[in-house]
Structure 1
Amino acid sequence: MIQFWCRLFLVCFALGLTGKVGAQQPSVIFTDARRLTLTGKAWNSQPFYHRLDTAAYPAIPANVKRLATNSAGLAISFKTNSTRILARWCTSSHAPSGNMTGIAYEGMDLYIQRDNRWQYAGVASPKSHTCSEATIVEHMASGDKTCLLFLPTYDETLSLEIGIDSSASISPADNPFKKNILIYGSSITQGASASRPGLAYPARLSRETGYNFINLGFSGSGKMEPEVADMIAPLAMDAYILDCLPNPSPAEILARMSNLIHTIRRFHPQVPIIVIQTVAREKGTFDQQVAAVVALKDLYSNQEIKKLQEQDKHLYLIRADGLLGHDQEGTTDGIHPNDLGFDRMLQTIRPAILSILSRYGI
């Protein structure tokens, strides 16, 4: 008999005490995320969830146009007093690639402000490769919450609704980030292979510094083409970060780097331009051909940056040496950083970037 009552007590306690056994959760109402605040875009353009209006730039390469439809780095900022938050969203029909989790590729993750920092709260895990509905977090305490929902990193977001308790409210929050710092780069910039969108390094930089780091990573296609240089150079930016060296060939680095820097300089004579040398290929530990190509890219990029720095005192280089550690555990596939690799990378580039920005009063 004593064991029976002990078991009954534990069951009742887990359900929220006997007075709440069998209680029904309140119904849910959904709000179109376009009514809230979108952060992370360089252009105030349509379509809403595309990083840029590709029709406005017909000359840029086809792969860049396609990847610009991915919502990498975009986030929805909102306030709510709901005790739970849900999402209902649709993406394109593309299936995740082998080096990405489904959550990072076409799902979302939520952060909520707590004790003056952004605290991870939950994920919206996709149930299909098109449309899904998920409870991100529930059983929260009542009261106002400031939220940031990071959108899919490698897929096109077609629609998004955020669900809350029917008795609660939801409203746009301010953009929590200041200034505009554009990061142009490769798949590493776009977010491969973080396990979820908010762990891509530009997203982490934004949350951890309070600056608006804008993700213009184009997977495999950050090749410094003149048409892309003409697209990004006129933007009203406080700083530029170029993390594009993994994608171009050694010959393309020699042919295009100088033009990219000079094109930005025509519009921004004194803004800091920071080049990150993330050509850190763990595959090259044993693959001699990979190692040789990486060495040549490092040689040419160092050579070009040094030459440009002779005339440009606002140009900086963060080298790749040890960027992912030295134990060969920092990537998913020998190329793209995993969460550990991105964390190690941030330990080097975050203080270096902040030090440079501070010299300009940013």
Structure 2
Amino acid sequence: MTKTISSLLVWFLSVLTNNLLAQKETSFIFTDAKQLTLIGKALSTDSFFHRIDTVAFPGIPPAVKRLLTHSAGLAISFETNSTRIAAKWCTSPQGPGNNMTAIAQEGMDLYIKRNGQWQYAGVARPSTHECNEFVVAAHMAPGDKECLLYLPLYDETLSVQIGVEAGARLTAKPNPFKKNILVYGSSIVHGASASRPGLAYPARLSRETGYNVINLGVSGNAKMEAAVAEMIATMPMDAFILDCVPNSSPEQVTERTANLVNTIRAKHPDAPIIAIQSIIREGGNFDESIANRVAQQNGNFLREIQELQRKDKHLYLVTAENLIGDDHEGTTDGTHPNDLGFDRMLQKIRPAVLEILGSHGI
């Protein structure tokens, strides 16, 4: 009996010691992200983590207003010399989507600049649908680190705190990207189905070009409405990318494309406008109705853009060919690109954007 009690005491002391060591190892000093630099917004808002102040645009559809509360494309820019970085954050209580990872939908990922290039450093994994805490990166070398923490793609972010070890420095960094390039589009722009936030193609386009690419993806609802066109036209952008064909019916493409382009052009007479056809959806490999719809969308868009180009020398078109490859492996669900599909999109979109913006001196 004495031996048993002694063994239990040793076990208890061991557990207590390990817990105390673990607490010491994982202790962080947290700073509210509102004290740091938030990048990725087209316009300032009272709600820190909303992309647009939708109250200022009462005419836009309710679904668009709701989606613009999502933090897709937003990131926190900061510098620290900590060897460990943690995050505490809260999102809305919505459940996970059926074609998204939890990390992409309501988690975060961290990039650190190394040798002049942004490099993946870790993820903040959500374990609940509301508030979470996670060690994003640990056991790093001492020294200053320039960081970008990308916020959840498909949820409303309510709060974010960034943790560093006691005694470490954490300071705001300026926006590392130049100019302002708006991407308006569907769930593909919004980020479905990247595996994590920093792999959505607008985020990658920023890191790989140095431009401040702003994500105005509104999943399922990029339909070129007149009120949305007016909203976009008010934004102080150096260039616009229109990737909105996937959500618009063939009829809407015909009826609304010219108004969208002309509304933007009226406020931005010299800004490049880069229009992108819809990806060829893999769901249409055997479903002829899907294949026919995409063909009609793209055909109508091509005609509208070509007609507009007769008078608009700053309007450009990126066609659908090879946007996600031709081996039929580039999507998660036949519609939304996986990470491979997004990579292939970038191989075509990035050089086109660089060439067009370069020709405009942007």
Task: Compute the TM-score of the two structures, normalised by the length of structure 2.
Answer: 0.93
| Shift of residue 46, structure 1, vs aligned partner | 1.6
Q: Give me the whole-angstrom Cα distance separating, in 2, the residues matched to 1:152 and 1:334.
A: 23
Alignment of 1:74 with 2:74, yes or no, is yes
Which residue of structure 2 aligns with residue 175 of structure 1?
Answer: 175
Q: Give me the whole-angstrom Cα distance separating, in 2, the residues matched to 1:117 and 1:328.
A: 31
Structure 2 residues not aligned, in runs of 5+: 1-20
Which residue of structure 2 aligns with residue 141 of structure 1?
Answer: 141
Which residue of structure 2 aligns with residue 102 of structure 1?
Answer: 102
Which residue of structure 1 aligns with residue 361 of structure 2?
Answer: 361
User: In the alignment, is the contact (CA less than 8 A) between 1:26 and 1:166 conserved in 2?
Assistant: no
SS at match of 1:25: helix
Which residue of structure 1 aligns with residue 279 of structure 2?
Answer: 279
Which residue of structure 2 aligns with residue 127 of structure 1?
Answer: 127
Which residue of structure 1 aligns with residue 349 of structure 2?
Answer: 349
Which ranges of 4 or more aligned residues in structure 1 deviate by more than 6 Å?
Answer: none
Which residue of structure 1 aligns with residue 161 of structure 2?
Answer: 161
Judged with a 3 Å threshold, the aligned counterparts in structure 2 of structure 1 residues 128 and 31 are, in CA distance, closer, same or farther, namely same
Structure 1 residues 1-362: aligned runs within 5 Å: 24-25=24-25, 27-362=27-362
| Shift of residue 270, structure 1, vs aligned partner | 1.2
Deviations 1:265-299 (A, max 9, x none): 11011110000112321111100000111111111
Q: Give me the whole-angstrom Cα distance separating, in 1, the residues matched to 2:298 and 2:27.
A: 57
Structure 1 residues not aligned, in runs of 5+: 1-20
Question: What amino acid maps onto 2:148 in structure 1?
Answer: L
Deviations 1:182-235 (A, max 9, x none): 000000001000000000000000011110000000000000000000001021
Equivalent pairs counted in the alignment come to 342
Q: Give me the whole-angstrom Cα distance separating, in 2, the residues matched to 1:338 and 1:241.
A: 21
Judged with a 3 Å threshold, the aligned counterparts in structure 2 of structure 1 residues 287 and 168 are, in CA distance, closer, same or farther, namely same
| Shift of residue 26, structure 1, vs aligned partner | 7.0
User: In the alignment, is the contact (CA less than 8 A) between 2:44 and 2:53 conserved in 1?
Assistant: no
Question: What amino acid maps onto 1:261 in structure 2?
Answer: V
Judged with a 3 Å threshold, the aligned counterparts in structure 2 of structure 1 residues 260 and 22 are, in CA distance, closer, same or farther, namely closer
Which residue of structure 2 aligns with residue 15 of structure 1?
Answer: none
| Shift of residue 23, structure 1, vs aligned partner | 11
Question: What amino acid maps onto 2:130 in structure 1?
Answer: T
